Amino acid sequence: MNTSLEKAIDWDLILKNPLRKVDLPKERKRKYTVWKREEIHRFLQFAKDEDLHYFALFFVCVYTGIRRGEVLRLKWEDVDLTDGTLHVQRNQTYLRGTYSYGSLKTESCNRIIKLDDETLHILMQNKKRQNELKLLYGPQYSAENLIFSRKNGQPINSATLAKIFNRIIKKSGVPKLRFHDLRHTHATLLLEAGVSLKEVQERLGHSSIKMTGDIYAHVTNEMKNNASKKFSEYMQENS
């Protein structure tokens, strides 16, 4: 049986939290690399010289900010040539040696992206090349109707894509980055061009504007400084 002193000590221990003064580790934000406009143009030129089909894939990623799994499962039915839009609605998954369709990360990932005329032109050129390959392969060509595929229409292996991506980076001499950083590059340049944070959020398929703001805080801070400077300059005009 505990003595009164032991009871007092036990009670005192319950009242005091030994972790109260411990500093919790702060969440570490992952750093990422982005390309400047001239580096993008250089990479895409080398990609075009290397392989027109992969050039089209890289071009679409740079100009839309689409994820790798999303771009690898785009179908031609997702492109609306009249409205100039691209509907992102599925993701590529890999299970037991087979590539297949999978659900998107969140509901907000299911989105419609507005395309510029140059991107639409690149896609149509790619469609023309695929039609030629369909004639060449005949019934052996896959019926999946993927926008980006192997020569026989089958899904592209993500490891193969990464290998080609890194090879072109090395040849072009641009800074090395991850494939996902094409998405960061797109978003960063959008913000630098003056596109609103809300528009960037919707284009990338982020679940909230706060998420977008947290990821690109360094860019938005620069935008705020520019806004302050522009306002000051405007107020001083004709004063």
Give tens-digit pLDDT for 217-228: 888 777 777 778
| pLDDT confidence tier of residue 109, bands split at 50, 70 and 90 | confident
Task: Supply the pLDDT for residue 106.
Answer: 66
Percent of the chain with pLDDT over 70: 81
| pLDDT confidence tier of residue 231, bands split at 50, 70 and 90 | confident
Across the beta sheet with 79-80, the strand order is 79-80, 85-88, 111-114
Are the beta carbons of 55 and 119 closer than 8 angstroms? no
pTM above 0.95, yes or no: no
d(CA 133, CA 136): 5
Task: Supply the pLDDT for residue 175.
Answer: 96
- Residue scoring higher pLDDT (12 or 93): 93
The yes-or-no verdict on residue 28 having pLDDT over 60 is no
Are the beta carbons of 61 and 115 closer than 8 angstroms? no
Alpha helix (H) residue ranges in 95-195: 117-137, 158-172, 181-192
Amino acid at 235: M
Task: Supply the pLDDT for residue 132.
Answer: 96
- Give the three-class secondary structure for 43: helix
Structure tokens at 83: 């409205």
Q: Once rounded to an integer, what is the mean pLDDT over residues 83-109?
A: 76
